[in-house]
């Protein structure tokens, strides 16, 4: 029996514990690099959990590295990428039993919450917003602003929030030094039925950091498993079609075609399995073979024939 991966992603830890204006281009801010310390406090109807981290961010490349620890003592190394949407790579802690010797686990979008892109404060044009007062942060005088973070940056702070919730922006506070460096950033973001309070302190501006994504060969992507399962679920229907098409009986879909010829997803869904996803595609269907594929969440998995393996990518 295949062992399922054990991945204590941050969102899983939170679920267990609870049971339950920007728009600036990356080059618009003079702050590209920074070190940071952050705290994430998730609170919901059944309890709370605290996450602490420190690391470095490259706001222009939309990447960050975080050494993260949870309230129950688990420690993770995390790499965040937000070029198109929020993606989190996690290793350490209880990221164990991954298939094929993988050492990193990947989460995208809402599955990556309550983590966020620590580079967002660096990309916010400053100063702007309503002045609330002044404070001393790390021995430096700072002005406190009430701001609104708009899309697309808002989604990088609150990846689990529906777009409708973020339509009018996400309220936040930003503390700037006289040079325009963001010394502190706070926001409270929706996280399912809970909320996640973000508190990030930044320093070391301009100190170059080089942040790499984990090699693809080391990353387990659960999206691949989901799409593979979708394609695999179609195989019994595909083989039933072939058997009926060769039978010549009352259930033969075509008297002039044999094997897999004439096979369509619509026919498979109507005749054999309505649960098959409409996104499934029959790319090729001949008398002796076929090629079937599905694309979901940016991942394509295909099977090129009855005896072929399931392969990531388009190869039909």
Q: Count of domains in the chain?
A: 2
Look up the CATH number of the domain holding residue 37.
2.50.20
Residues 209 and 254 in one domain: no
pLDDT at 127: 63
- Kindly report the backbone phi and psi dihedral angles of residue 247, in degrees, each rounded to the nearest multiple of 5, phi listed first: -80, -30
Give the Cα separation of 194 and 197 in Å (integer): 10
Reply yes or no on whether the pLDDT at 312 is more than 50.
Answer: yes
Give the Cα separation of 129 and 144 in Å (integer): 9
| Structural domain of 95 | 10-217
Residues 263 and 167 in one domain: no
Report if residue 83 sits inside a domain: yes
Band (264; pLDDT cuts 50, 70, 90): very high
Band (47; pLDDT cuts 50, 70, 90): confident
Task: Locate 211 and state its tokens.
Answer: 């942040």
Q: How many other C-beta atoms are found inside a 10 Å radius of the C-beta of residue 203?
A: 14
**Which of residues 199, 217, 235 is at a domain's end?**
217
**Which of residues 171, 200, 217 is at a domain's end?**
217
Residues 131 and 255 in one domain: no
44 CB contacts (<8 Å, ≥6 apart)? 18, 20, 191, 192, 193, 194, 195
Burial label for 130, CB within 10 Å (0-12, 13-18, 19+), is: exposed
Mean pLDDT of 173-185: 94
Residues 226 and 208 in one domain: no
Asked whether the CA dihedral 151, 153, 158, 160 is positive or negative, the reply is positive
**Quick check: 3 and 99 in contact, CB under 8 A?**
no
Q: Which of 5-9, 31-35, 245-249 has the lowest mean pLDDT?
A: 5-9
**Quick check: 170 and 157 in contact, CB under 8 A?**
yes
pLDDT digit string, tens, across residues 202-231:
999 988 888 999 998 899 888 888 899 999
Band (23; pLDDT cuts 50, 70, 90): very low
Strand stretches in the chain, DSSP E: 33-44, 47-58, 63-70, 75-81, 87-92, 104-108, 130-137, 140-149, 170-176, 182-191, 194-203, 219-220, 281-285, 290-296, 299-303, 310-312
pTM, to two decimals: 0.74
pLDDT at 26: 37
Give the Cα separation of 151 and 160 in Å (integer): 14
Residues 240 and 288 in one domain: yes
Give the Cα separation of 147 and 131 in Å (integer): 9
Q: How many other C-beta atoms are found inside a 10 Å radius of the C-beta of residue 202?
A: 24
Residues 199 and 288 in one domain: no
Band (126; pLDDT cuts 50, 70, 90): low
């Amino acid at each position: 029996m295949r062992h399922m991966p054990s991945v204590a992603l941050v969102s899983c830890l939170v679920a267990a514990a609870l049971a339950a204006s920007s728009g600036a281009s990356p080059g618009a801010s003079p702050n590209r690099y920074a070190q940071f310390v952050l705290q994430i406090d998730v609170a919901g109807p059944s309890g709370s959990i605290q996450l602490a981290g420190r690391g470095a961010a490259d706001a222009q490349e939309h990447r960050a590295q975080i050494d993260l620890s949870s309230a129950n003592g688990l420690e993770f190394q995390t790499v965040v990428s937000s070029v198109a949407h929020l993606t989190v790579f996690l290793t350490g802690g209880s990221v164990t039993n991954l298939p094929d010797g993988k050492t990193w686990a990947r989460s995208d979008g809402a599955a990556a919450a309550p983590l966020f892109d620590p580079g967002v404060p660096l990309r916010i044009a400053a100063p702007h917003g309503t002045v609330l007062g002044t404070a001393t942060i790390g021995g430096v005088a700072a002005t406190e602003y009430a701001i609104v973070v708009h899309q697309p940056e808002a989604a990088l702070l609150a990846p689990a929030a529906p777009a409708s919730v973020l339509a009018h922006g996400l309220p936040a506070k930003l503390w700037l030094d006289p040079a325009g460096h963001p010394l502190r950033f706070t926001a409270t973001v929706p996280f399912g039925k809970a909320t996640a309070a973000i508190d990030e302190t930044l320093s070391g501006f301009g100190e170059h950091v080089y942040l790499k994504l984990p090699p693809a060969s080391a990353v387990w992507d659960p999206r691949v498993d989901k799409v593979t399962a979708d394609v695999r679920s179609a195989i019994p229907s595909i083989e039933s079609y072939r058997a009926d098409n060769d039978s010549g009986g009352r259930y033969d879909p075509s008297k002039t075609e044999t094997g897999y010829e004439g096979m369509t997803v619509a026919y498979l869904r109507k005749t054999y399995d309505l649960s098959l996803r409409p996104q499934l595609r029959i790319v090729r269907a001949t008398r002796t073979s076929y090629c079937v594929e599905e694309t979901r969440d940016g991942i394509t998995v295909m099977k090129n024939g009855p005896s072929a393996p399931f392969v990531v990518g388009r190869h039909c």
